[in-house]
Structure 1
Amino acid sequence: MNRVVHPIEAESYRRMRARLDTSHLPPLTRAVVERVVHSSADLEYARDLVMDEGDLERGHAALHAGAPVVVDVEMVGAGITRRETVCRLRDGVAGPGLTRSAHGIRLAFEQVGPGALWVIGNAPTALEELLRLDAAPALVIGLPVGFVGAVESKAALRESGLPAVSNVSEKGGSAVASAALNALLYHPVPQSKETL
């Protein structure tokens, strides 16, 4: 089913593209950059985001093949359209030295196992906990926001070698994390030669 784009969104993209040239970017990278910039009205994300087209291609394929989508907070899940998400933040009580966000990530991994897409837009501790697990993710969208731990957790994500979308600065948040996932949801699935 094709997504209907509202005229306001179309005009917003037109204005954004008049100020930001993304034509040189590979297709999925371009989709993610544009959707994040659109959701935040922050052109700086075009230089701040870090991702690999091959990782995005594999994440896109896993997403459209039905891989689970795990989010760190309900606000990220609320921003993801056309897809159910798993959020375990409210479940159980965190133990000593473990934040609720980190505990929720542990519980979510116990539920979904390897191969999920992880979308973290709020808590650096959630991203840190994911990096401690043997989650074998299809893709990690790690865009937590804040002045404490956000930069470091995103740097650790990039150093981990996991397939990821991250950014260098303190910026991030639920809206941009869900926007990055939505970019992959909205991007068309390539037709295989067998179906042509």
Structure 2
Amino acid sequence: MNRAFVPEDRVVHPIEQESFRRLRARLDTSHFPPLTRAVVERVIHSAADLDYAEDLVMDEGTLERAHAALHAGAPVVVDVEMVAAGITRRGTVCRLKDARSGPGLTRSAHAVRLAYEEVGPGALWVIGCAPTALEELLTLDASPALVIGLPVGFVGAAESKAALRESGLPAVSNVSMKGGSAVAAAALNALLYHLAAPASKEKS
């Protein structure tokens, strides 16, 4: 496995190594730039779904800036505890248990408001469950370092991700209605695990 994808102090289980070997045998990811490749591969690994290689939308420059913010200690906010459970090596903020629904406001949307009051601008937001959480985030002046917007569902998921892309915010999203907590956490983990390295080494 490319060392640029694995921190020196992270022990990779042989099953994970074999999984990535088989993934790369079925899908050539070598044309992707380093961070994009890391996100694509880890999302596919989490879902066993090769179609994510064409479904995901992201920009390498955006990922580079988000990677720097993440490793400089920027807060990570998640929409549900299932996303938090999938993110390793970093604490997260999730305010869903404190949130209440009301007229025109879901618990997930209220949780986003509460989280923003807590962390302020510059956070990384990881939304893998509720389209309404993503919709609410887009109404705030959150100035995020990155929005990983991968909510899943037949109602509102694809639409909320399209709105995220149209917003111009730094983002990782996908075009289809699929997504979920596991893939959203995987996208963030890809940035956590990736070592900054000289370009000549990352291409090896």
Fold shared, TM-score > 0.5 on shorter chain: yes
Q: CA deviation at 1:96?
A: 1.4
| % same residue | 83
Q: Which residue of 2 aligns with 1:40?
A: 47
Given residue 105 of structure 1, which amino acid in structure 2 is its aligned partner?
V
User: 1:140-165: CA deviations, max 9, x gaps?
Assistant: 00000000000000000000000000
Count of aligned residue pairs for this structure pair:
191
Matched, 1:63 2:63: no
Q: Which residue of 1 aligns with 2:3?
A: none
CA contact 1:73–1:122 (8 Å) conserved in 2: yes
CA contact 1:60–1:185 (8 Å) conserved in 2: yes
Q: CA deviation at 1:92?
A: 3.6
Q: Which residue of 1 aligns with 2:18?
A: 11
Cα distance between partner residues in 2 of 1:187 and 1:130: 27
Cα distance between partner residues in 2 of 1:134 and 1:22: 35
Given residue 43 of structure 2, which amino acid in structure 1 is its aligned partner?
V
Q: TM-score, normalised by structure 1?
A: 0.96
Q: What secondary structure sits across from 1:93 in the alignment?
A: coil
Q: Which residue of 2 aligns with 1:194?
A: none
Q: Which residue of 1 aligns with 2:57?
A: 50
CA contact 2:157–2:177 (8 Å) conserved in 1: yes
Q: What secondary structure sits across from 1:132 in the alignment?
A: coil
Cα distance between partner residues in 2 of 1:93 and 1:22: 43
Q: Which residue of 2 aligns with 1:111?
A: 118
Matched, 1:74 2:86: no
Unaligned runs of 5+ in 1: 192-196
